[in-house]
Amino acid sequence: MELSKIKNICNLGTGTMGFGTALLFAKCGYNVRMFGRSDASIQRGMKNIKAALKLYQENDLVKQSEIDEIMGRITGCTTLKDVAKDADFVIESVAEDLEVKRKTWKEMEDYVRPDVIFATNTSGLSPTEISSVLTHKDRFVVAHFWNPPYLIPLVEVVPGKWTSEAAVDTTWKLMEKIGKKPVALKKEAYGFVGNRLQLALLREALYIVESGIATQEAVDTAVKYSIGRRLSTTGPIETADLGGVDIFYDIAAYLNADLCDAKEPSKLLKNAMDKGNLGAKTGTGLYSWTPESIEKIKRTRDNILI
């Protein structure tokens, strides 16, 4: 499928990521069919799209007349057959579960042309394992958006074992066209690039707390007011070059041996999970949350990102 021929987007999912990808494509002029498992999920997705557009409007990124046009390009569907109608590109953000994704894609293959690219928005599952159930495996690729997708520029484009270069190239170009910053991996790896780095940082952050070196509040503050700000302009490898390869080598020579290298998830995470403390969505995780505090931190985050 050539980029110029892509006009209609099939968007699977209305949740945290799904509504955001639907918005991005519609904002850039594409017709979008958005799949949700019920009318209620479609309504939630539309509500979140409108909230994101309001944020855009408050920051002079869209006009009211544009909002009406964008919303008019999005159609909700509750069956895969209906959402696949006239699809030229499919982006999927259903549950992060291998079997759920396999089942979804296997059914989708019956409803679309064999030249239509299948892009999964998985956070780290193997594209090879997901696409193993497909007949046309060469069309399958990862397009991993970051949350919130309507504000974070990165999209990781990841090939599977059978993915064609054409599928990677077209997906890359499409991501650029909708205003994203794509990064293509040379080969697949669990967690891709971003989540491998994010989980490495989280592992060390939790280890620091578990070891009594500092509180979790101190860890979060240290990240937000140091590397968190610098990393938006210089990546870790650029930072090493700017600081001096010799300096970073010397630090690594004594520090690496003291860093956490655990192969199992943190006990702090497991203890919280075992108690049903799953974070903001349950009101308690590693921190305690209220609806007001969640809204405040999200608003702060979105205003800084935008």
pLDDT in tens, the chain (306 residues): 789 999 999 999 999 999 999 999 999 999 999 999 999 999 999 999 999 999 999 999 999 999 999 999 999 999 999 999 999 999 999 999 999 999 999 999 999 999 999 999 999 999 999 999 999 999 999 999 999 999 999 999 999 999 999 999 999 999 999 999 999 999 999 999 999 999 999 999 999 999 999 999 999 999 999 999 999 999 999 999 999 999 999 999 999 999 999 999 999 999 999 999 999 999 999 999 999 999 999 999 999 998
What are the DSSP E strand ranges found in the chain?
Answer: 8-12, 31-35, 74-77, 89-92, 117-120, 140-145, 154-159, 181-184
Q: Which residues of 130-159 are buried (b: 16+ CB within 10 A; e: fewer)?
A: bbbebebbbbbbbbbbbebbbbeeebbbbb
The token pair at 143 is: 């397009």
Reduce the DSSP state of residue 8 to 3 states and report it.
strand
- Cβ neighbours of 18 (radius 10 Å): 26
Nearest to 92 by CA among 56, 60, 116, 61: 116
Reduce the DSSP state of residue 119 to 3 states and report it.
strand
Question: If residue 194 lies in a helix (H) or strand (E), which one and from where to where?
Answer: helix 194-210
In the prediction, which pLDDT does 85 show?
94
Kindly tell me the burial class for residue 118, based on how many C-beta atoms sit within 10 Å of its own C-beta (0-12, 13-18, 19 or more): buried
| Cβ 77 vs Cβ 102: under 8 Å | no
In the prediction, which pLDDT does 300 show?
93
What is the chain's alpha carbon radius of gyration, rounded to the nearest angstrom? 21
In the prediction, which pLDDT does 229 show?
94
Distance between CA atoms of 282 and 285, rounded to whole angstroms? 7
Give the strands of the sheet with 89-92, arranged side by side: 74-77, 31-35, 8-12, 89-92, 117-120, 140-145, 154-159, 181-184
Distance between CA atoms of 34 and 78, rounded to whole angstroms? 8
Q: Say if residue 265 is preceded by a cis peptide, omega within 30 of 0.
A: no
263: Cβ–Cβ under 8 A, 6 or more apart, which residues? none
Q: What is the DSSP string of 135-151?
A: S-GGGEEEEEE-SSTTT
The secondary structure of residue 4, as a DSSP letter, is G
Length of the chain: 306
In the prediction, which pLDDT does 2 show?
87
pTM tops 0.85: yes
For residue 252, the one-letter residue type is A
In the prediction, which pLDDT does 207 show?
98
Nearest to 15 by CA among 154, 148, 120: 148
Kindly tell me the burial class for residue 224, based on how many C-beta atoms sit within 10 Å of its own C-beta (0-12, 13-18, 19 or more): exposed
| Cβ 33 vs Cβ 83: under 8 Å | yes
